[in-house]
């Protein structure tokens, strides 16, 4: 009986661990996309000399 309960708990733990791993990968991908897009926007701003018209906070200021 105890072994069955332990097996059930371990299966739940593995599923939760897999869900957490998948969520972590999605978040990491979203962050990378955001950073990439932010770099592209900053490059365009510098290239087109729009910086004097925009107010934004750089991540370096944190």
Mean per-residue pLDDT, 15-33: 97
Element (H, E) at 37: helix 2-47
Angle at 27 between CA 16 and CA 37, to 5 degrees: 170
CA 11, CA 33: separation in Å to the nearest integer? 33
48 falls in which pLDDT band (50, 70, 90)?
Answer: confident
**What is the per-residue pLDDT for 61?**
56
Contacts (Cβ under 8 Å, ≥6 apart) of 45: 51, 54
Asked whether the whole model's pTM tops 0.85, one would answer no
């Amino acid at each position: 009986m105890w072994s069955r309960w332990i097996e059930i708990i371990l299966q739940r733990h593995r599923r939760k661990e897999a869900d957490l791993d998948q969520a972590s990968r999605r978040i990491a991908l979203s962050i990378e996309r955001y950073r990439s897009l932010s770099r592209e926007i900053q490059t365009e701003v510098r290239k087109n000399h729009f910086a004097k018209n925009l107010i934004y906070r750089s991540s370096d200021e944190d």
